[in-house]
Amino acid sequence: MSDRQLSPSPLLRGDDAILVVIDMQERLLPVISDKDKVIENIQKLVKFSRMIGLPIILTEQGNLGETNPEIRTLLKGVEPITKLEFDCFESPAFAEHVGQSGRNTLIIAGIEAHICVAQTALHALAHHRVHVVSDAVSSRSPHNREVALSRMRESGLTITSTEMVIFELLGKAGTDQFKEALKLVK
C-alpha cells in the first residue's frame, strides 16, 4: 500500500492509476455471460493502458489454465500473477506488486464479478480508490454479476464503463492520444 494521499477528485488520473485484469482464463470463459463483450472491452482497456503508459497487473486463478490468447497477446512483458486466493490481495505477490506501483487507484476488470473481482475490490477499498469497469466484468450468471455490481456500488466503490475510463484518463480532445483512443471506441 502506498503512503501517498488520495486525491480529493473522484476522476481518474493516469499518474495514480493501475489496470488490474483478473482471471480472464480460457478454461472459465466458455461459461461466462456476455464473454465476447467483456473480452472486447478488456482488449480496449489494455490497448489504451499501453498507449498512455498505465501499468497493468494480470492475475490467473490456479488450475484454470492460461489467459485468453486475444488478451494475452496484448500483454507481452506482463507476467501473470498466479494465485489460489479469490481476493487478489490475499496473494502476497499481488499485494506486493500493487504496493510497489506507488499507485492509489485500481481500475478493475475481469471475472468472476461476484467472486474474485468483488472480493479484491472490496478489500482494496480500505486503502485505494477503486473503479470497477461494469462492461468489462462478468460472471457465469447475469444475476451474480448484477448482485456483485450492486454490492460494490453500495460499499462505496465506483462503478464505471470502458469509455468512461478512457475519456477520464485522456482528459481532453485534440491530442494524438485522443485520436488513437477514438479508434478504440468506434
Is 15 catalytic? The answer is: no
- Compute, in degrees rounded to 10, the torsion defined by CA atoms 176, 179, 185, 186: -160
Is 44 catalytic? The answer is: no
Catalytic residue selected from 16, 23, 87, 135: 23
Is 88 catalytic? The answer is: no
Catalytic residue selected from 16, 88, 116, 135: 116
- Compute, in degrees rounded to 10, the torsion defined by CA atoms 56, 62, 64, 65: 70
**Range list of β-strands (E), 38-163:** 56-61, 81-83, 105-111, 129-138, 158-160
User: Cα–Cα distance between 16 and 102 in angstroms, integer?
Assistant: 8
Catalytic residue selected from 16, 83, 87, 135: 83
Task: Please give the positions annotated as active site.
Answer: 23, 83, 116
